[in-house]
Chains A and B, each alone.
Chain A
Amino acid sequence: MQVLRRVLLAIVAMGFFAGAGVAADDAPPPKLPKSTADHGKFKELQRVFASGPEVTKACLSCHTEASKQLHQTQHWKWEYTNPTTQQKLGKKHVINNFCTSVSSNYKACASCHIGYGLKDEGFDFASEENVDCLVCHDSTGKYKKPSGFAGHPVTKDTEFPPGSGKIIRGIDLSAIAQKVGKTRRETCGTCHFYGGGGDAVKHGDLDSSLDQPDKALDVHMDAEGLNFSCATCHKTEGHQVPGSRYAPTAADREGAHLRGKADSSNPATCQACHGQAPHTGKAKLNDHTDKVACQTCHIPAFARGDMPTKMSWDWSTAGKRDEKGKPLVVTNDDGHITYNGIKGDFVLEENVKPEYVWFNGTVNYTLLGDPIEKSQQPIAINRFEGSAGDGKSLIWPVKLFRGKQPFDPINKTLVVTHLAGEDDTAYWKNMVWDKAVAEGMKTLHKPFSGKVDFIETTAIWPITHMVAPKDKALGCNECHAKGGRLDKIEGIYIPGRDANKLVDTIGWLAAGGILAGVLIHGAIRALRRKH
């Protein structure tokens, strides 16, 4: 008995010491960053940087090929030739119906260029040091490119506009450079959330609510869930970001991408991960993927993050001043501007139900110089091509943005307006249309009659972000009904919406006739009180 007790004791003791030993080995290893490099330890970055290009030179001393890669991107060139339509697009060329054009306004607009010094047409697009690494790779959130500096950050406290008494604080580029990292939602959002001149203005499905979204707003980017960055879908190689709005993939018929398989298709589509039959156990839903884009059901509304998006912009009412002679500004109950003397009237909306169109991926733009007629307004700034029968189209949700913008009624073209600047001709300074348009057209050496009128325009924006969780996806009844969401979609038979009127009329007449016949027959029987 005693022997047994001793043996047991020995076993317990061994277990104890063994356990203690394991515990010592189990101490968690120090948490290391996932990156193999700590930029804070790089000598090249331990110095004062007086300007952006100085930082870039330091970056290039290791990342030797980075600028060459960026030089080939749309982000740098602001130019894109659509291979289908051969139209020259990109910010350099398109006219939109927000602030209408980048041309002649570069100093302000270039705060969203991934470069330094894009102030006019003379910018050197071959310059390597003028590529801005920090705007995409800043991890501190402190990097800023204020409007009016042609894309340069401000490193010393600067009064801007000069003489205004407003001071823009200088930022410490050294601290920012030492903490560079991968792109994040916030870095992409610096520009893409603020397109059109402010948060949520342009896209409708991209705004700062996506910095830290919850699951209801975006099931993939959910900060406490899947926490996708933009690049998770826009899977970038060599700085080429896939998924362009100028030539989108409207109907991806490929399967889900697989490691080891050479996938040449756009990695940013839903299908690139989810494939063609993503609804398990719901065969009828999978039957829809040949005609309906995923986004149509899975993005029930855009601007869902408490940020209203602009739905229309009327430039023709601009020009009003308040009693002090300053541009009149009117805000709504939520504090959002609905009228600005230098811009005109806006309509803002949240939780907007999209419009729906057939879309095959080809977008046609009305460009500067294209003939337009006021009798044909609204003029489509861009047109989504597609139809039920072309075999390439899906039904897409879109934001339809309505504008009323200056045009030349004599030459019958859209115009470039010089809006931003401290000179005498800028509309935002002097609020005189013909001067501003004349200057704008002059910078591009385009003819201008001297007359300014206003024309209604429409622009279409594809809705593809803010994907809702599946329980918030559209139900069948939203479209399979008369007057439903797809009421205006032509070329397909939608059960619940469509019916052959002739068959219905004959059918109900026949059924009603038989019913009336048997009722009369029965009534006569009842009256005769026989059978």
Chain B
Amino acid sequence: MSALLPEIRDSAIARVNPVAKLAVAVFLSVSLLLSIDVVSASVALVLVSILLFWSGLGARQFWMRTAPLWLAAPFAGLTTVLYGEDSGALLLAWGLISVTEGSLSLGLAITLRVLAIGLPSIVLFATTDPTDLADGLAQVLRLPARFVLGGLAGMRMIGLFLDDWRALGQARRARGVGDAHVLVRLGTQAFALLVLAIRRGSKLATAMEAKGFGSDTPRTWARPSRFGFAEAVLLAIGVVIAGSSVAAAVFAGTWSFILDQS
């Protein structure tokens, strides 16, 4: 498990109830998806970056965690630049590829947007312990315990699946069937892992039931999950970031509501 979840250092953001973080991440994402323009994304990105100072993430951890995003964002932008909807002056044309002023600014807007949505989401959850999130979902949002704890127990098994996967690969090599094409090998090995996963899952379900899980008795929670001042502050910050970015875009005249067919 530690391979998937780095140590969570204590920080202002780490202490906030995960449900508040989830709400902020969702709220920011939705507000940034409403328009595709450079200004709203830039403003949100700058404000979110300031917030990162309270995350308690080390530099190395930050870059490791967000690495996929730094790759994905420019790619999404580049694709838009090369193949996206053209408008304005033509800058370059080569076969299917055409770069125009319009597609260039659209590409930039997409890149910034992927970052502005992705960064806070990744960072908020890099500072969240899954157990705390489950506590919050069950106690604050009142989601069913069966669903929340089932998911949480399943997550713990991911570490076991990593070991299983490695053992399966070694066993295949030992059995003389490890020379097949890599895709064939991955396919059959994935199926074998699925079979093992189902067996592990049903054993875990029996163990949980043996510990009284799933009975009619109302369940109590050993760890309180509270919603207080810190949570309200983070929510307010989220609203301010979303509000400022939208307001800036409207003020600058770049706001383009995605549902407007213009």
Query: Does chain A bind chain B?
Result: no
Q: A residues bordering B, Cβ < 8 Å?
A: none
Q: B residues bordering A, Cβ < 8 Å?
A: none
